């Protein structure tokens, strides 16, 4: 009896093993030879899909540029516009925009039916708004549309290995931020062409601008720090509540601006080839004589900037100086820019320029052995060394706003990660 049970158990176990093996083989077979897909259900003859009766017909878009010595009306006529259509377009646009401001060389977008009349005209007025003109069945409509603008604060930092531009590019930023750092904050204290040292560092708290979600440049630097050869410079933006004017000041309310910018070269990393000297061997005349300027070697066409606000007293050619610009500034200062290849727009005698405006471009005119700028400064008619002269700072922050400025510096100091500034304020230190 026990043996019979044992035999039945063995048979059952063997059967189970066999069934498992068959199941495994079935899985393997299906994996290696998958079944053919089910045949699609039988259908009747194909029926073409028709567009809805009110579906808009497709439009063909075309980018067009107004040719030289041509007008918008002439261009539209060549595109098949009738005089009546041009008149209706002008009348529709007149309340929102002056079509006379569209000049040769500017681009428009024109949408038309494939074999029919125009339906839409678009023109980008600037980066924030554009003109849209649409042709309806019985009228023409025009409106200005605006691109959504958003400002986002950002913190940017880096270490100088080669140049400020290279360090900012490494941090993922654009060249224009370097220009803002120089021209708005530290260009009066640091010559970013000649003073930089490897290991210099910067921190910047800046507002970035986005158009329709896309980065579109920078608005305002709110706070900045630059460490140059161990010297620490800081700048904080403050807007006067009564006038709306804004400027940059140090931690104590002193102006970051001085009478003159440190460099006449507009941020192109030139090389100084000759310094201010009472006796220098002239490479052309082969004699020793004074050289009352600083020579900056740079490629032809490099922009040259006015180093301070002032009036142009001469712009023309003068013997060995070549193309020359002279300027008169406050406090009995004069500047001169020699050997230019050309002059900035509107630079002529009597023109009023701001510091940073383009006076001309590096050249090799006059007595010159290569492209460079000879930059000179005079005070009360006497030459001074542009690299060593100490210039007077601009007016400090007005006293009645020092308390407001203190609060702003505390806020921006935190954003700029300046704990020592924040601690000083927390300790009750005043200006």
**pTM above 0.85?**
no
Position 148 confidence tier, pLDDT thresholds 50, 70, 90: confident
To which H or E segment does residue 84 belong? helix 83-93
Please tell me the predicted confidence (pLDDT) of residue 220.
Answer: 92
Residue 149 has pLDDT above 50, yes or no: yes
* 429 has pLDDT over 70: no
Region 96-115 average pLDDT? 84
Helix (H) or strand (E) holding 310: strand 310-318
Taking only the tens place, the pLDDT of each residue in 243-267 is: 999 999 999 999 998 888 888 987 6
Q: How far apart are CA 270 and CA 299, in angstroms?
A: 8
Q: What's the mean pLDDT when you consider all of the chain?
A: 81
Q: What's residue 283's pLDDT?
A: 64
Instruction: Report how far residue 116's alpha carbon sits from residue 134's, in angstroms, rounded to the nearest whole number.
Output: 15
Question: What is the model's pLDDT at position 322?
Answer: 94
Residue 56 clears pLDDT 80, i.e. is over it: no
In angstroms, rounded to a whole number, what is the distance separating the alpha carbons of residues 57 and 65? 25
- Cα–Cα distance for residue pair 41/19, rounded to 1 Å: 36
Lowest mean pLDDT among 176-180, 205-209, 279-283, 289-293: 279-283
Choice between 95 and 55, residue whose per-residue pLDDT is larger: 95
Closest CA to 248 of 240, 261, 233, 238: 238
308-323: per-residue pLDDT in tens?
Answer: 999 999 999 998 899 9
CB 204 within 8 A of CB 226: no
pLDDT of residue 171 exceeding 70, the answer is yes
Nearest Cα residue to 314 out of 343, 341, 292? 343
**Which has the closest alpha carbon to 103: 73, 135, 61, 136?**
73
Query: Higher confidence at residue 64 or residue 177?
Result: 177
What are 421's two structure tokens?
């500034």
* Average of per-residue pLDDT across 350-361: 93
Is pLDDT above 50 for 34? no
For the segment 42-47, the average pLDDT, to the nearest whole number, is: 42
Domains of the chain listed by start with CATH number:
59-146 (3.10.450.350), 149-258+393-431 (3.10.450.350), 271-384 (2.70.70.10)
For the chain, state the CA radius of gyration.
Answer: 36
The predicted model gives 69-84 an average pLDDT of 85
Position 268 confidence tier, pLDDT thresholds 50, 70, 90:
low
Host H or E run for residue 422: helix 419-426
pLDDT of residue 43: 41
Question: pLDDT band at 127, cuts 50/70/90?
Answer: confident
Lowest mean pLDDT among 49-58, 80-89, 125-134, 270-279: 49-58
The secondary structure of residue 43, as a DSSP letter, is -
The confidence band for 14, taking pLDDT boundaries of 50, 70 and 90, is very low
Question: What residues are paired with 63 via a beta bridge?
Answer: 109
Structural contact between residues 119 and 59, judged by C-beta atoms closer than 8 angstroms:
yes
Whether the pLDDT of residue 32 is over 50: the answer is no
Residues in the chain: 431
Q: DSSP string spanning 213-261?
A: TEEEEEEEEEEEEEEETTEEEEEEEEE-TTT--EEEE-TTS-BS-BSS-
């Amino acid at each position: 009896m026990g043996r019979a049970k044992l035999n039945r158990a063995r048979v059952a176990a063997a059967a189970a093993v066999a069934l498992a093996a068959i199941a495994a083989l079935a899985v393997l077979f299906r994996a290696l030879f998958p079944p053919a897909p089910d045949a699609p259900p039988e259908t009747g003859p194909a029926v073409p899909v028709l567009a809805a009766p009110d579906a808009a017909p497709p439009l063909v878009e075309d980018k067009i540029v107004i040719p030289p010595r041509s007008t918008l009306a002439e261009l539209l006529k060549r595109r098949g516009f009738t005089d009546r259509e041009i008149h209706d377009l002008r009348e529709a646009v007149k309340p929102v925009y002056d079509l006379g401001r569209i000049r040769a060389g500017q681009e428009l977008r024109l949408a038309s039916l494939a074999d029919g009349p125009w339906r839409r005209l678009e023109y980008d007025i600037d980066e924030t708004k554009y003109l849209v003109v649409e042709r309806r069945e019985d009228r023409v409509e025009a409106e200005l549309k605006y691109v959504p603008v958003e400002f986002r604060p950002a913190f940017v930092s880096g270490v100088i290995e080669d140049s400020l531009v290279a360090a900012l590019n490494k941090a993922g930023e654009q060249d224009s931020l370097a220009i803002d750092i120089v021209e708005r904050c530290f260009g009066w204290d640091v010559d970013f062409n000649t003073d930089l040292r490897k290991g210099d560092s910067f921190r910047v708290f800046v507002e970035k601008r986005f158009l329709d979600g896309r980065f579109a440049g920078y608005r305002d630097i709110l706070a900045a720090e630059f460490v140059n050869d161990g010297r620490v410079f800081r700048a904080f933006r403050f807007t006067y509540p009564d006038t709306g004017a804004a400027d940059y000041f140090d931690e104590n309310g002193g102006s970051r601006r001085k009478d003159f910018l440190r460099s006449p070269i507009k941020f192109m990393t030139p090389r100084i080839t000759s310094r201010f000297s009472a006796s220098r061997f002239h490479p052309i005349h082969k004699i020793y004589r004074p050289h009352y300027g600083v020579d900056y070697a740079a490629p032809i066409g490099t922009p040259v900037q006015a180093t301070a606000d002032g009036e142009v007293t001469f712009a023309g050619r003068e013997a060995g100086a070549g193309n020359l610009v002279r300027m008169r500034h406050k406090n009995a200062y004069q500047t001169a820019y020699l050997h230019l290849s050309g002059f900035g727009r509107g630079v002529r005698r009597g023109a009023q320029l701001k510091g940073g405006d383009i006076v001309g471009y590096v050249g090799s005119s006059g007595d010159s052995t290569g492209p460079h700028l000879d930059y000179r400064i005079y005070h009360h008619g006497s030459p001074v060394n542009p690299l060593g002269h100490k210039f007077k700072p601009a007016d400090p922050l007005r006293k009645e706003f020092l308390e407001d400025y203190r609060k702003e510096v505390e806020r921006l100091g935190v954003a700029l990660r300046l704990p020592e500034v924040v601690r000083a304020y927390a300790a009750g230190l005043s200006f």
